Amino acid sequence: MNGIIKKNKDKSSEIIMPASHEPESSRSLRLESTGAVFENSRSDNHFYRIRCEGITKVYPGVVANDQVSLAIQPGEIHALLGENGAGKSTLMKILYGVTQPDSGHIWFDGQPQPLKSPAHARRLGIGMVFQHFSLFETLTVVENIALSMDKREAGSLKDLARRIEEISSHYGMPIDPHRHVHSLSTGERQRVEIIRCLVQDISLLILDEPTSVLTPQEVSSLFATLRKLAAEGCSLLFISHKLQEVKALCDRATVLRHGKIAGTCDPKTTSTEDMASMMVGSQTTLGQRYSFSSNKVEDKRLAVQGLTEAALGDFGTALQDIHFSVKPGEILGIAGVAGNGQKELIQLLSGERLATSPDFITLDDQAIGKLTPGKRRRLGMAVVPEERLGRGAVPDMSLSENGLLTGFLQNLVSRGFLRQRRIHGFANDVISNFRVKAHGNLADAKSLSGGNLQKFIIGREILQNPKLLICASPTWGVDVGAANLIHQSLIDLRDKGTAIVVLSEDLDELFQVSDRIGALCHGKLSPVKPVTETSINEVGQWMAGVFTNPESEASEQAYALPRGVEPEMEQNIQEKEFTP
């Protein structure tokens, strides 16, 4: 830690900061919208680990941050809330030195600090875990961490690996420092990102939507880590769209709306509905269960029969004897801890990887297991992959070009010529129907906020009216209002007769939209049941591998810990505790 808190033996803390160098003019600050007053007198300022005032950042066509002020105390867990595009990531990047504000002031541990670069921020003791991980796939965990450190600070790889093991066991984030990143699940990659911050001496950790890719068990474990860090005096700035988690974890929350501060609140005493309303500026309904499918036909749109595929690479997951089917007008939810075969299943369903037998997968009774992705799309399949930047969209291409990449069958190409007006029109339709906040259809995909890009990708697939939609983590990083919109769009698509497979680690989401549900564990699929005949707890047990493989003749219990679930998390599953 940066030394401003002195821990006494009786576990009390003392502040030993030097006096602030803050200008007289900023002694107190009133937030116009809320009337909240930060007591910023010279003597009080050193209570803040970080404080910013009047931060403004303008991008072409949008004021991402407009006179934003924020203050966080040592050991405080502070949430930053707001709709997609509200300006949260921009503020985070400014506080981590990635982006320079157009105006405004920042104080760190009481000293004025124009944060010039991430290296400068790290030297001060600021760490950041981004929404999109920045790890080199072909390097090991320890090599990745060494790359982000000063050579002298990192020491030898052997020493660094030992430190990683110590930190990972101290904070309950088990990881093998010698594993290659490409073989890690999403949850494990996130651990690497956090450990990468913790190997350096940090006193402020910024986390941009850290739970959006985690299972309930991983969230519990992450929260235990974060609480431990806070108890040791590290301040945390936590961006999330999951308001229940904010209530469970955070001491205070600041809400951004259209780049401005909309207010601050104590999440423990403010309802999730009230927080959502502060974010969107109107009443919002949260977490409702949507209607069930009314389709009674028995036809199978998609049938997966005995799908068995070897693992690719040392850490891939083999798929074992997977059977399921989806009818037209039905949503099948597949739960699972990341790294238990979801990636492989999506690749095999989409055609990114070809099956060893064409009959393993049929679409309207046609064997498609060996068809390429393009041929499957021509048969009416659409896919929303898990990774939105890289697989779902090309970062440097415009939204129009990204629309064309999968929407080429929507009359966007004629005799080999691109129909520019239609291409732009298609992108505009996605933007308006899915309320994507973007600077027009020519904006690069990479300029969109994470949630807005997710809305664009899912909207692009839904507007193609596919016969079959394979959809991974549909609302990853999406705000509550947009999540409602996406869920309703999936239901509407289903009601038009589309068969939909949703793979998600978010059990609440799966129970909201699915008609039937199953879970993947170690490449095996649990029983698939109507959601009315199962419970979150039972599905949680399936995720932990507690199920009898319905197709297995031996009918033995497929019990083993799934990838990414540690013994203590597994105990939570057994004890049916899912609240973080």
- Phi/psi at 406 (5° precision): -115, -15
- What is the bridge-based pairing of β-strands 302-309 and 361-363? antiparallel
Of 84 and 144, which has the nearer Cβ to ligand ATP?
A: 84
Angle, in degrees to the nearest 10, between helices 567-574 and 536-543: 150
Q: Applying CB under 6 A, which of residues 31, 51, 70, 82 lies at the interface with ligand ATP?
A: 82
Q: Which stretch binds ligand ATP (CB under 6 A): 56-64, 464-472, 554-562, 564-572?
A: 56-64
Q: Which residues pair with 351 in a beta bridge?
A: none
Q: Which stretch binds ligand ATP (CB under 6 A): 70-78, 79-87, 152-160, 319-327?
A: 79-87
Of 59 and 408, which has the nearer Cβ to ligand ATP?
A: 59
Q: Which residues pair with 525 in a beta bridge?
A: 520
Counting other chains too, the contacts that 568-574 makes at CB distance below 8 Å and 24 or more residues apart are 568/172, 568/221, 569/217, 569/218, 569/220, 569/221, 570/217, 570/544, 572/217, 572/220, 573/217, 573/540, 573/541, 573/543, 573/544, 573/546, 574/541, 574/544, 574/546
Q: Applying CB under 6 A, which of residues 17, 52, 64, 427 lies at the interface with ligand ATP?
A: 64
Q: Applying CB under 6 A, which of residues 135, 249, 255, 448 lies at the interface with ligand ATP?
A: 448
Element holding 549 (H helix, E strand) = none
CA distance 391 to 259: 29
197 binds ligand ATP per the rule CB under 6 A: no
Q: Applying CB under 6 A, which of residues 122, 300, 388, 437 lies at the interface with ligand ATP?
A: 437
203 binds ligand ATP per the rule CB under 6 A: no
- Phi/psi at 253 (5° precision): -135, 140
| The two three-digit tokens of residue 200, written as one number | 């350096």
Of 385 and 466, which has the nearer Cβ to ligand ATP?
A: 385
Q: Applying CB under 6 A, which of residues 90, 215, 402, 410 lies at the interface with ligand ATP?
A: 90
Number of residues that bind ligand ATP (CB under 6 A): 20
Minimal distance in Å, beta carbon 59 to ligand ATP?
3
Q: Applying CB under 6 A, which of residues 74, 75, 87, 385 lies at the interface with ligand ATP?
A: 87
| 264 and 72 Cβ atoms separated by less than 8 Å | no
Q: Applying CB under 6 A, which of residues 88, 301, 327, 343 lies at the interface with ligand ATP?
A: 88
Of 380 and 481, which has the nearer Cβ to ligand ATP?
A: 481
The maximal CA–CA distance of the chain, rounded, in angstroms, is 78
CA distance 224 to 533: 33
450 binds ligand ATP per the rule CB under 6 A: yes
Give me the helices (H) in 419-531, please.
Answer: 420-433, 450-462, 480-495, 507-513
Q: Which stretch binds ligand ATP (CB under 6 A): 86-94, 190-198, 501-509, 529-537?
A: 86-94
Q: Which stretch binds ligand ATP (CB under 6 A): 318-326, 407-415, 446-454, 507-515?
A: 446-454
Minimal distance in Å, beta carbon 452 to ligand ATP?
5
Minimal distance in Å, beta carbon 495 to ligand ATP?
28
Q: Which stretch binds ligand ATP (CB under 6 A): 290-298, 346-354, 376-384, 444-452?
A: 444-452
The single-letter DSSP state of residue 505 is S
486 binds ligand ATP per the rule CB under 6 A: no
Of 241 and 524, which has the nearer Cβ to ligand ATP?
A: 241
Q: Give residues with Cβ within 8 angstroms of 578, minimum separation 6.
A: 216, 217, 220, 507, 536, 537, 540, 572
CA distance 17 to 315: 48
Q: Applying CB under 6 A, which of residues 2, 20, 69, 84 lies at the interface with ligand ATP?
A: 84
| 78 and 253 Cβ atoms separated by less than 8 Å | yes
Q: Applying CB under 6 A, which of residues 148, 277, 447, 465 lies at the interface with ligand ATP?
A: 447
Residue indicated by tokens 């899915």: 434
59 binds ligand ATP per the rule CB under 6 A: yes
Q: Which stretch binds ligand ATP (CB under 6 A): 82-90, 184-192, 456-464, 496-504?
A: 82-90
Angle, in degrees to the nearest 10, between helices 216-231 and 186-198: 10
Q: Which stretch binds ligand ATP (CB under 6 A): 81-89, 107-115, 172-180, 376-384?
A: 81-89
Letters for 455-484 (x = contact with ligand ATP by CB under 6 A, - = none) are ----------------------x-x-----
Give me the helices (H) in 287-437, please.
Answer: 342-350, 373-378, 399-407, 420-433
Q: In a 10 Å sphere around its CB, with 0-12 CB exposed, 13-18 middle and 19+ buried, how is residue 570 labelled?
A: middle
Of 451 and 564, which has the nearer Cβ to ligand ATP?
A: 451
Of 58 and 149, which has the nearer Cβ to ligand ATP?
A: 58
- Strands of 235-239's sheet in order across: 126-129, 204-208, 235-239, 77-82, 252-257, 260-265
Span 146-185, contacts to ligand ATP by CB under 6 A: none
Q: Which stretch binds ligand ATP (CB under 6 A): 39-47, 312-320, 370-378, 450-458?
A: 450-458
Q: Applying CB under 6 A, which of residues 52, 55, 72, 86 lies at the interface with ligand ATP?
A: 86
Q: Applying CB under 6 A, which of residues 45, 400, 452, 464 lies at the interface with ligand ATP?
A: 452
In order of 139, 143, 160, 195, the CA distances from 155 in angstroms are: 17, 12, 6, 16
How would DSSP label each residue in 136-164?
-TTSBHHHHHHHTS-HHHH--HHHHHHHH
| The two three-digit tokens of residue 71, written as one number | 């203050």
| The two three-digit tokens of residue 72, written as one number | 């966080």
Minimal distance in Å, beta carbon 312 to ligand ATP?
31
What does the binding site for ligand ATP look like in residue numbers (CB under 6 A)?
59, 62, 64, 82, 84-90, 437, 447-452, 477, 479
